[in-house]
C-alpha cells in the first residue's frame, strides 16, 4: 500500500485545507471566491500559474491588450467581443489575469474600462503564498467576501472534491437521513438534478462535496473517503 502524503491548499479567503491520504493528491487545485465590491458581485478563480493563459487560449485570445506590474505580480487584460445567440446581445467582457510565481488569479468583468478594473482590484490585497493566493478585501472601501471561498481538487479514483468552511446555511442542506461515519466526519449520499450521485462530507469545520467522475466506482466512494483526512490546517 502506498504511504500517505499530506498537502495544504489555501483558499482565496485565507483558509488552508489539509488533505492527507494514500490516494493520489498530486493534481493542482483551484479556489473560487465571490467578492462584493461596492455592491458589484465579482467571481475570482485562483489556480496554477498557467491557468490564465489556458483560459485565454480557450477563448481564442492570442494576445493581451495590456500588461503591467501590480501588487507583486503581473496583471494582464484583454477585451474580446462575444455574441450571445440566446439573448442576441454583443458583449465585450474583459479577461483579467494576475500572475505570480506559482499561481494565478483570473476573473471576467463586463462593461468596465481598465481604470475601473484597477480601482476594483486595489480594494483587494492580493498575496501569494506557498499554498496559494489570498485576497484581503478592504472593508473601508466597500469590499467583502460574499461567502466563504472554496477549494476544488480532483482526486484520481475518487472524483472532484470541493471544500469550504461550514456555514449556518449548510445545516439546512443536509439530507434528512443519517450519514455514514468516516474518518473526517459524516458522509451522505445524494442525487444531482440529472440523476447522478454525489456525496456530502460534513464535520464541525469543513463542508465538502464529492462528485464522482467518469471511471469512478461509486460504490467504492465511502471506502475511499475513509482513507482521506480532511481538515483546516490553521
Is residue 108 within 8 Å of residue 101, measured between CB atoms? no
**85-118, pLDDT tens digit by residue?**
777 788 899 999 999 999 999 999 998 999 999 9
Percentage of residues in the chain having pLDDT higher than 90:
83
Determine which helix (DSSP H) or strand (DSSP E) holds 211, and give its type and residue range: strand 206-211
Of the candidates 81, 150, 77, 151, the residue with the CA atom closest to the CA atom of residue 120: 77
Is residue 210 within 8 Å of residue 161, measured between CB atoms? yes
pLDDT at 139: 87
Record the pTM: 0.93
When pLDDT is averaged across residues 4-22 and rounded to a whole number, the result is 97
CA atoms within 13 A on the CB side of 31: 28
Domain boundaries, the chain: 5-29+148-232, 31-145
Per-residue confidence band for 173, with pLDDT thresholds at 50, 70 and 90 = confident
When pLDDT is averaged across residues 17-34 and rounded to a whole number, the result is 97
pLDDT at 42: 97
Q: What is the rounded average pLDDT for all residues in the chain?
A: 94
pLDDT at 175: 87
Query: 82-84 and 89-91 as β-strands: parallel, antiparallel, unpaired?
Result: antiparallel
**122-157, pLDDT tens digit by residue?**
999 999 999 999 999 998 988 999 999 999 999 999
pLDDT at 174: 86
DSSP code string of 6-39: EEEEE-TTS-EEEEEESS---S-EEEEEEEEETT
Taking the C-alpha atoms of residue 96 and residue 116, their distance in angstroms, rounded to an integer, is 12
Amino acid at each position: 500500500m502506498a504511504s500517505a502524503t499530506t498537502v495544504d491548499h489555501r483558499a482565496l479567503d485565507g483558509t488552508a485545507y489539509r488533505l492527507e491520504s494514500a490516494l493520489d493528491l498530486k493534481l493542482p487545485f483551484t479556489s473560487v471566491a465571490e467578492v462584493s465590491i461596492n455592491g458589484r458581485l465579482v467571481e475570482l478563480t485562483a489556480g496554477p500559474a498557467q491557468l490564465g493563459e489556458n483560459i485565454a487560449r480557450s477563448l481564442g485570445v492570442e494576445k493581451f491588450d495590456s500588461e503591467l506590474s501590480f501588487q507583486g505580480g503581473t496583471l494582464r487584460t484583454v477585451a474580446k467581443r462575444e455574441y450571445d445567440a440566446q439573448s442576441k446581445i454583443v458583449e465585450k467582457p474583459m479577461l483579467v489575469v494576475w500572475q505570480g510565481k506559482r499561481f494565478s488569479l483570473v476573473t471576467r468583468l463586463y462593461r468596465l474600462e481598465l481604470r475601473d478594473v484597477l480601482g476594483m482590484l486595489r480594494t483587494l490585497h492580493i498575496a501569494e503564498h506557498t499554498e496559494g493566493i489570498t485576497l484581503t478585501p478592504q472593508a473601508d472601501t466597500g469590499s467583502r467576501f460574499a461567502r466563504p471561498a472554496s477549494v476544488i481538487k480532483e482526486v484520481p479514483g475518487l472524483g472532484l472534491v470541493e471544500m469550504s468552511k461550514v456555514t449556518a446555511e449548510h445545516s439546512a442542506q443536509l439530507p434528512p437521513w443519517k450519514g455514514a461515519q468516516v474518518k473526517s466526519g459524516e458522509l451522505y449520499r445524494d442525487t444531482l438534478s440529472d440523476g447522478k450521485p454525489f456525496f456530502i462530507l460534513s464535520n464541525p469545520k469543513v463542508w465538502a462535496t464529492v462528485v464522482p467522475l467518469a471511471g469512478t466506482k461509486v460504490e467504492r466512494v465511502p471506502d475511499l473517503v475513509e482513507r482521506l483526512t480532511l481538515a483546516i490546517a490553521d
